[in-house]
Amino acid sequence: MFQLTPPARRRQRGLTLLELLLTLTIFAFMLAIGIPNASNWLLSNRARSASEFYADGFSLARRQAVMHNSFSRISLSPNVNSGQMDWQVDICFVSPATQCGATETGWSTVDTPADNDPEGAAGYRSVYRAADSLPNSEVLLPSTLPEGSSQVYYTPVGWVDTRFAQRLTSLRLDPAAKYANEVPAVALVVTLAGMASKCDPRVPASDTRACPP
């Protein structure tokens, strides 16, 4: 009888030192290209989230006025950690004691409902959002128009309350010079109808992305 013998096993060869060095070189080259691009992508996304952060605040203020049939306001205040601006949304109900003006009392706080809130002690409490997670002001610099303005007041139908003369009409976010190619400039313009429209403050007026005058 013929005896079957198994085929000889092929000797497995590992990576040579030259091949290993070549692989590591290619990997290092890919990291050198990929890491900066990934960092720029993350930074750009964080910058875009900043405009959404503020847009959410304006939208919430308008929505609460309509939902509660009350006056509302959004107030921006400096964040000491990021250099951006925190926001807070309060509401107020007209009563014999207050007409919900800028200097009057009776507004809600984060701890207490507004005076004369129909829901009493269970009523709406102010919403506060901190800007700690936004890119710092060395990357993205916030500014408002008119200069120094920080509040928008809304009527019960969601329109801007024009009794408040120093109302904020525009919030602009500009990248620092070193990030101008990675981070886009953006602005939020608050119309008299109470809507915060996002626009590009750097394009000409004929461009559909331009901010309204």
Widest Cα–Cα separation across the chain: 116
In this predicted model, what pLDDT tens digit does every residue of 194-210 receive, in sequence order?
999 999 999 998 999 99
Residue 108's pLDDT band, with cuts at 50, 70 and 90, is: very high
In this predicted model, what pLDDT tens digit does every residue of 10-64 receive, in sequence order?
555 556 777 667 777 776 665 555 445 555 656 666 777 899 999 999 999 999 9
- Cα dist. 160→45, 61, 131, 135, 168 in Å? 30, 10, 24, 29, 10
2 pLDDT higher than 70: no
- Cα dist. 174→82, 125, 140, 167 in Å? 15, 32, 5, 21
| Integer Cα distance of 196 and 171 in angstroms | 10
117 pLDDT higher than 90: yes
Average pLDDT for 112-124? 96
154 pLDDT higher than 60: yes
Q: Looking at residue 31, what is its pLDDT?
A: 55
Q: Are strands 186-190 and 170-175 parallel, antiparallel or unpaired?
A: antiparallel
Q: Looking at residue 15, what is its pLDDT?
A: 61
The mean of the pLDDT values for the chain is 87
Q: Looking at residue 174, what is its pLDDT?
A: 94
Among the listed residues 190, 79, 180, 84, the one whose alpha carbon sits nearest the alpha carbon of residue 141: 84
